Amino acid sequence: MKKHLLFFFSLVISVASFAQNNSYNQRSYNQKSYNQKSFNQIKPTFGVKAGLSETGIRGDASTNFNNLLSNTNGILTTQDQTGFFAGAFVNLPVGDVLSLEPGIYYSQKGYQLHGALDIKGLGFLGANAKASLKLEYVDIPVLLKMNFNGLQLFAGPQFSYLAHGNLKTTASVLGLNLLNNNSDVTADFSKWDVGITGGIGYKFAGGFNISASYDYGLSKIDANQNVNAYNRGIKVGVGISL
């Protein structure tokens, strides 16, 4: 009888021990699976993006200047500057929908001024002049992005460093260039520009994405911070997550 009881208790202890070990292993597996899932959710992704931009200078000074040009019967006109941007970003998920996306981009901005002299009886001369301001920036946006099954909405601050500024002026008559001058105007503009940017995009399953955004400069861009002139513009780009 004692032998049977001893065998019975040994069996119970063995079964309990096995059950406990099995339960512990299952919890460990579940915890590992949960940790792996959490790691996958917060795993950062890197990417590159490039596209075209259409930028200009806005503000009281620019508005007053354009109002003045409207009284010149079309002799002088202003136009935004077409450029491009390219760079890289890192996307840091902070939830199922939200992510933080800092990036760094080379970006062209600027402004254009066109003049056409149309004198009665001498229009065949075709006298015209052009001034093109090209500002080259390093843009550092820090975006808060929301992703809804591929559809993306984003906005955030943007810090820009002026790397170079160039003013090109040309004038011609009868197709002959009378003036073709390039001037370094970097020192005439503020080194730093602070603004906000926001837009909409779509990310496809393979990581390819498209986006459109608007940059709204908040800092006066002249070196002395005396003129109410600000960088403003739109960007359309394509990118891919690596």
- In residues, how long is the chain? 242
Looking at every residue in the chain, the average pLDDT score rounds to: 78
In sequence order, what are the residues at sequence separation of 6 or more whose Cβ sits closer than 8 angstroms to the Cβ of residue 224? none
Task: Give the integer Cα–Cα distance in Å for 47 and 148.
Answer: 19
pLDDT tens digit sequence for 89-122: 999 999 889 999 999 999 999 888 766 554 444 4
Instruction: Record the tokens describing residue 13, joined without a space.
Output: 């202890």
216 pLDDT higher than 90: yes
Tokens of 227: 């003129």
pLDDT at 23: 47
Q: What is the pTM of this model?
A: 0.73
Q: What is the pLDDT of residue 84?
A: 95
pLDDT at residue 231, rounded to an integer: 92
What share of the chain has pLDDT > 90, as a percent?
A: 47
* pLDDT higher at 25 or 150: 150
Residue 145 CA to residue 95 CA, distance in Å, equals 11
Query: For 154-190, how does the pLDDT look when each residue is reduced to its tens digit (9 = 90+)?
Result: 999 999 999 999 988 877 766 666 677 888 989 988 9
For a pLDDT cut of 70, what percent of the chain falls above it? 65
| Position 29 pLDDT exceeds 60 | no
Mean pLDDT value of segment 197-208 = 95
- Mind giving me the DSSP string for the chain? -HHHHHHHHHHHHHHHHHHHHHHHHHHHHHHHHHHHHHHHHH--EEEEEEEEEEEEEESHHHHHHHHHHTTTTTSEEEEEEEEEEEEEEEEEE-SSSEEEEEEEEEEEEEEEEEEEE--TT-GGG-EEEEEEEEEEEEEEEEEEEEEETTEEEEEEEEEEEEEEEEEEEEEEETTEEEEEEEEE-GGGB-SEEEEEEEEEEEE-TTSEEEEEEEEEE-S--BTTS-S--EEEEEEEEEEEE-
Residue 170 confidence (pLDDT): 79
For residue 133, what pLDDT is reported? 86
What is the model's pLDDT at position 223?
87
Give the residue-averaged pLDDT of 215-234: 89
